[in-house]
Amino acid sequence: MAPMQGKTVVITGASSGIGEELAVALAERGAQVVLAARSEAELERVKQRCERAGGRALVVPTDVCDPEACRRLVARAVEVFGGIDSLVNNAGLGMRGRFEEVTDLSIFERVMRVNYLGAVYCTHAALPHLKARRGLIVAVSSLTGKSGAPTRSGYAATKHAMQGFFDSLRIELSGTGVDVLVVSPGFVTSNIRSRALGPDGSTGHTDIAEEKGNRLMDARTCADLILRAMERRERELVMMPAAKLLLAVKALVPGVIDRLASRMLKHRP
């Protein structure tokens, strides 16, 4: 039997991008997917894709910023499918802009609530059920969770928080049968890019220079890599060989990476 056959997987941020493609990939493996995001209409669209792919899907509109909504998400999953085998914390909100240009500091709190606290709320609610089934927790972080990036101070802070939280939780759960996988994608085609907040809190701040200067991984390729890591119950997935090399260089000579990032920023229009 395939590792995901008949398993129940809760996915936040499932209405588009990585979350949507991961849900469909899991459905193709015969999983039961619980789709969470704010847009019910978009979730229904993803549900249809999952069912056409051969899996069962449940739509639970959820705002991960609300702890009670996260508890209801978990309760609904358990009510319908009897338990939870995996939780994928994928909901995310982007932010772009130099810190000195920020005019609305509440943006930092908003991004932290979605990217970090949303994962904490969902994980806390799901943990007893995951322990009962010796399940898997997945945190979709970012390469900016391992190394800071110019114009990404708010976003990088949330991903560093995720990395620290889930690394700590992994140690706490040692011996319980629950594994923790932290995923660090690079540049991926996703709505999080077009919906990123700018320094004034407005949305739609796509970085054209970034789009032109970096090769984007499509969301399905990213989802397939995550699924493979889930099936192997790996502890960490860093995508792109170049990223692994940069992280190794950073560990030895951190100043080099800072200078490279600064140089990239200066060459942007």
Distance between CA atoms of residues 111 and 123, nearest Å? 18
Handedness of CA 218, 49, 184, 105 (dihedral sign): positive
What is the chain's alpha carbon radius of gyration, rounded to the nearest angstrom? 18
Q: Which bin fits 6, alpha (ψ -120 to 50), beta or left (φ > 0)?
A: left
CB contact set of 227 (below 8 Å; sequence gap of 6+): 4, 22, 25, 26, 29
Distance between CA atoms of residues 74 and 84, nearest Å? 8
Distance between CA atoms of residues 64 and 38, nearest Å? 8
Active site residues: 155
In degrees rounded to 5, what are phi and psi of residue 11? -125, 120
